[in-house]
Amino acid sequence: MAGPISLGEIASRLGGRVVGDAGVLVEQVASLEHAQGRDIAFFSSARYKAQLTATRAAAVILGPRAEPLTRLPRIVSDNPYAYFARVSQLLNPAGAPQPGVHAAAHVEASARVAASARVDALAVVGAAAEIGERAWIGAGCTIGEAAAVGADSRLHPSVVVYAGCRIGKRAVVHSGAVIGADGFGMALDAGRWLKVPQIGRVLIGDDVEIGANTTIDRGTVDDTVIEDGVKLDNQVQIGHNCRIGAHTAMAGCAGVAGSAQIGRRCTLGGAAVVLGHLSICDDVHVSAATVITRSIRKPGTYTGLYPFEDNASWARNAALLRHLGKKRKKRNG
Amino acid sequence: MAGPISLGEIASRLGGRVVGDAGVLVEQVASLEHAQGRDIAFFSSARYKAQLTATRAAAVILGPRAEPLTRLPRIVSDNPYAYFARVSQLLNPAGAPQPGVHAAAHVEASARVAASARVDALAVVGAAAEIGERAWIGAGCTIGEAAAVGADSRLHPSVVVYAGCRIGKRAVVHSGAVIGADGFGMALDAGRWLKVPQIGRVLIGDDVEIGANTTIDRGTVDDTVIEDGVKLDNQVQIGHNCRIGAHTAMAGCAGVAGSAQIGRRCTLGGAAVVLGHLSICDDVHVSAATVITRSIRKPGTYTGLYPFEDNASWARNAALLRHLGKKRKKRNG
Amino acid sequence: MAGPISLGEIASRLGGRVVGDAGVLVEQVASLEHAQGRDIAFFSSARYKAQLTATRAAAVILGPRAEPLTRLPRIVSDNPYAYFARVSQLLNPAGAPQPGVHAAAHVEASARVAASARVDALAVVGAAAEIGERAWIGAGCTIGEAAAVGADSRLHPSVVVYAGCRIGKRAVVHSGAVIGADGFGMALDAGRWLKVPQIGRVLIGDDVEIGANTTIDRGTVDDTVIEDGVKLDNQVQIGHNCRIGAHTAMAGCAGVAGSAQIGRRCTLGGAAVVLGHLSICDDVHVSAATVITRSIRKPGTYTGLYPFEDNASWARNAALLRHLGKKRKKRNG
């Protein structure tokens, strides 16, 4: 923790308007429900009004309309969640790692590891690989031959980066992520699958976050590209030759099949799927568990989700659904 | 194998009623189809009647109504599958691991590893971490700073437990599982994603099993909680701030989005999804591949699943489904 | 790269018919869009006609009907994608790995590692395990006790093979794959889950490819079987006791629940699910994101997928869908 810090000083650094005692000190963020002592919480949704009333937080971050809902010292911001993020970053600075290559790491002689970088025990850095300034390679990671990890990037333990793949600056990559495995390129030939060598790379821009056990495949011949600021949650799958536009975010278990092109500032809800070779324009939002089966050329929110019901109602409706066609035929016949 | 053991001795230890020669010896469990020699099999569903007739098992476990279906020596139990589980546990005891820290493991000086625990080659145990009595940390695991693994727990190879997370007693955690990666907390700020530091932990109770490549995210500020007896299959994703009630089970590829609260004794079928911030009461059963989009306050079974058909029938019905609204408008218009 | 090689020599090795200058040299494959210099590209779909016109490739592989679409030197093949695969294999030979066990690998004394095999740094090979001729075990892999990896197989970094499991010849297994974790065998006993020991193995045939973070569970008592030539993409889940028939392929995030039997030459699209204990005959194709809920006895293509729409249209239709049953009741009532 970097605190304590007064509300006044927070506002002078991050903007926002203090209401109440600007000298109140805070030293950690907390939820409304569990805040105590010098904790600062945030309020962003009317559904938590009761918690706002009951909170023992020292101070609260909230939006302009919520200002009168509490008498606690507070900071008013037009985007209280983003403000909360900045306050938490202030109180929980990540800091540069202690530099050095652990004695039990294996770094090939031709690899270039910046003096300010850190490589933990049992990590492997391949020939001609590059590890940038202040980058942190966690325990058990494998960085393939001629792969690169940019400055200030952090790879948590057990990440694998295949040969030739490049990760930009300030990345956060969580454990179990696999960057650059072969795309699923198989040609059917007389009933057998013939492997198409996957000789493209994965190129990842700056400020990208990649969740635990997420997989991003290398391209068949061209590269798979993840642009700046993309955020991928856990267990996301990105097929070969995809391009994911800048600042697009995907929630857990989303999947994008090969050669799909996804625009900038898009979002995919959890378990959403985009089929292969499709093109999605900028500013498209795909709801959770929705399967996109054709290209989208107009920004907006798209959904395709079977509504759940109690099992008996579902069974009845699903049977009727399957008979829609037959009923129509009879009616028309 | 711990056998051979007689049916009579099994029944004296586990209950159940022996029919036929109680002196028959068994030494391993097997399927009806492949049993031979001193194997004991179980019968639990009428669909396997032909296999029961043909089996060469030495003995069979079955329910009261199935008792007359075979003349083989048998043990009758009201819950033959659970009985089979106990017999298999008896014949395949897990046993405590041979204690000791492998010379090629890396254990920080401030970590506390019980003398009866085992740490395999190339595992890393961080500063101030605790490994309980008879716990077994597999090859290539990483136990983060100040994390804890309870007594008699087994982590198979390549599990990652992030800093500060706690796993209770008698856990089984399979390879590739990642406990405590950052939740997907991103605040949108002028078209960019701002990371919300994830400072909560993952707290896991006793008797929990976690499947291969399953991921459980740490909380944003409060903790993510997995209560006692929870069983998660492979490739399950649990988002930040979730609470999963005791004895709830989730089949492969299920996903629970952030801040969802799931009750006790629930089941999620394979690939089922629960969206974020929802609350599911105790004793709710979600069918496979069903997406839960609102809170559930009544125990029962819930389903939402598009019925599959041959492709041509599906295409016809899906087109009709999309025109339901338009047809209704015309009819009403 | 193994080139350069002339079109004439390619055709003499792989068949096909050269049109234009057979002496043209190529040395790498590329996409129509990015080809240059001595690159050879392929054309397989009318949607890329403009790219064919504009390409700077030295030569193109295409089908008989596309032959007149370009004046570039070209090879005509009835199956241009498979032909392209063979050309790429020719130009990008995998080659046998440099043999040897890295000083920082841990191989138990009773393991049998072929002299021509390679074991990379920080890999663990358990007691009585077998590593075949020219097999390559990547950094950080764990090969369990008495497990076996066949000749010419390659395990990329951080693969886990549990005790007793067997992988055939010429396998490619990508990082993070877990072979042989316990199946999800839990018997409900008075509100608690009782673990059923999983004592079967995983048996994998020859020429199998397994994607990154894919999981294949060991059998309960019998073995889980993956037949020859099966290709599994990333994040696929195969439950215990399944049998996957020869030359079947599954795209990313597909899931097969326990005890399902899938025939030969089947395909599962991305995120498709097959429920447990079902039987799928040979030559069945399951569309992406489709859930198979009953056995299939007739070859063909099967689909069940909620069509997506803009969110407002979906909401209207989904509400109507849920009222289908009620409407019908009224109409009939």
Looking at chain C, which residue has its C-alpha nearest residue A241? C31
Q: Is residue C329 very low, low, confident or very high in pLDDT (cuts 50, 70, 90)?
A: low
The rounded distance, in Å, linking the Cα atoms of B39 and C60 is 62
The ipTM of this complex is 0.96
Would you name the residues of A annotated as active-site residues? 240
> C328: pLDDT confidence band, cut at 50, 70 and 90?
low
Nearest chain A residue to B239 by CA: give it. Answer: A252
- C44 touches B at CB < 8 Å: no
Residue C16 has pLDDT above 80, yes or no: yes
Rounded CA-CA distance A243/B89 in Å is 50
Residue B187 to residue A79, Cβ atoms within 8 A: yes
List residues bridging with A131 in a β-sheet: A113, A149
Q: Which residues of chain A make contact with B291, given a CB cutoff of 8 A?
A: 271, 288-289, 305-306, 308
> What pLDDT shows up at residue C1?
53
Other beta carbons within 10 angstroms of residue A180's beta carbon come to 33
> Measured between CB atoms, does A290 come within 8 Å of chain B?
no
Conformation bin of residue C84: beta by default, left when phi > 0, alpha when psi is -120 to 50: alpha
Please, are residues C153 and C173 in contact by the beta-carbon 8 Å criterion? Answer: yes
Structure token pair of residue A82: 């983003």
Interface contact flag, B233 C184, Cβ < 8 Å:
yes
Facing residue for B92 by CB, picked from C124, C199, C307: C199
A33 Cβ under 8 Å from any chain C Cβ: no
Looking at chain A, the whole-number percentage of residues with pLDDT higher than 90 is 92
Show which subunits contact C, needing at least 3 CB pairs below 8 angstroms: A, B
Q: Which CATH number fits domain B105-173: 1.20.1250.20, 3.30.70.3450, 3.40.630.30, 2.160.10.10?
A: 2.160.10.10
Find the mean pLDDT for residues C229-244.
98
Helix axis angle, B311-332 to C311-332, nearest 10°: 80
Question: For chain B, first and last CA: distance in Å?
Answer: 75
Residues of C with Cβ-Cβ distance to B28 under 8 angstroms: 199
pLDDT of residue C74: 98
Q: B177-306, what's its fold?
A: UDP N-Acetylglucosamine Acyltransferase; domain 1 (2.160.10)
User: Is B177-306 in the same CATH topology as B105-173?
Assistant: yes
Read off the tokens for B134.
């008879």
Name the CATH superfamily housing domain C100-302: Hexapeptide repeat proteins (2.160.10.10)
Stretch 215-244 of chain B: residues touching chain A, C-beta under 8 Å? 215, 217, 220-222, 235, 237, 239
Mutate to test the interface with C, among A124, A143, A218 (most CBs of C within 10 A): A124
By C-alpha distance, the chain C residue nearest A274 is C270
Which of C247, C289, C318 minimises the CB distance to A193? C247
**Residues of chain A contacting residue B307, judged by C-beta atoms under 8 Å apart:** 318-319, 321-322
Output the pLDDT for position B115.
97
Residues of B in contact with C306 (CB under 8 A): 306, 318, 321
Dump pLDDT digits (tens) for C257-299: 999 999 999 999 999 999 999 999 999 999 999 999 999 999 9
Distance CA B288, CA B302 (A): 10
Using the Cβ of C31 and the Cβ atoms of chain A, whether some distance falls under 8 Å is answered with yes
Is residue A80 helix, strand or coil?
Answer: helix
List CB contacts of C38: < 8 A, sequence separation 6 or more.
C3, C4, C25, C26, C27, C28, C58
* Chain C residues closer than 8 Å to B253 by CB: 237, 253, 255, 273
Report yes or no: B328 and B322 within 8 Å, Cβ to Cβ: no
Label residue C307 by pLDDT band (50, 70, 90): very high
Among chain B residues, the shortest Cα distance to A138 is held by B142
Chains near A, with 3+ CB pairs < 8 A?
B, C
Spatial separation of the C-alpha atoms in residues B61 and B45, rounded to whole Å: 12
SS3 C52: helix
For position B241, what pLDDT does the model report? 97
In the stretch 194-213 of chain C, residues with CB closer than 8 A to chain B read 194-197, 199, 213
Chain centroid to CA A150: 18
Q: In chain C, which ranges are continuous DSSP H helix?
A: 7-14, 49-54, 80-91, 311-332
- How many angstroms separate the Cα of A18 from the Cα of each of A32, A92, B168, B185, B199? 18, 21, 43, 25, 25
- Please list the active-site residues of C: 240
Contacting A residues, span 142-171, partner chain B, CB-CB under 8 Å: 156-158
C5-91 CATH, one of 2.60.40.1180, 1.10.260.40, 3.40.1390.10, 3.40.50.300: 3.40.1390.10
Query: Domain map of chain C by residue range?
Result: 5-91, 100-302
**DSSP line for B155-208:** E-TT-EE-TT-EE-TT-EE-TT-EEEEPP--EEEETTEEEE------EEE-SS-
Q: Is the pLDDT of residue C327 over 70?
A: no
* pLDDT at res. B282: 98
Return the bridge partners of A40, or none.
A29, A59
User: Does residue A121 contact residue A141 with C-beta atoms inside 8 Å?
Assistant: no
Percent of chain A whose pLDDT exceeds 70: 97
Which residues of chain B, if any, have pLDDT below 70?
A: 1, 325-333
Positions in chain A whose pLDDT score sits under 70: 1, 325-333
What digits encode the pLDDT tens for the residues C129-154?
999 999 999 999 999 999 999 999 99
Does the beta carbon of B306 lie under 8 angstroms from any beta carbon of chain A?
Answer: yes
Give the pLDDT confidence score for residue B333 in this predicted structure. Answer: 40
Q: Per the CB < 8 Å rule, is B191 touching A265?
A: yes
Q: What is the pLDDT of residue B1?
A: 53
Cα separation, C290 vs C294, in Å, equals: 12
- In chain C, residues 177-196 whose CB comes closer than 8 Å to chain B: 178, 181-182, 184-189, 191-196
Q: Is C163 exposed, middle or buried (0-12, 13-18, 19+ CB in 10 A)?
A: middle
Position A327 scores a pLDDT of: 57
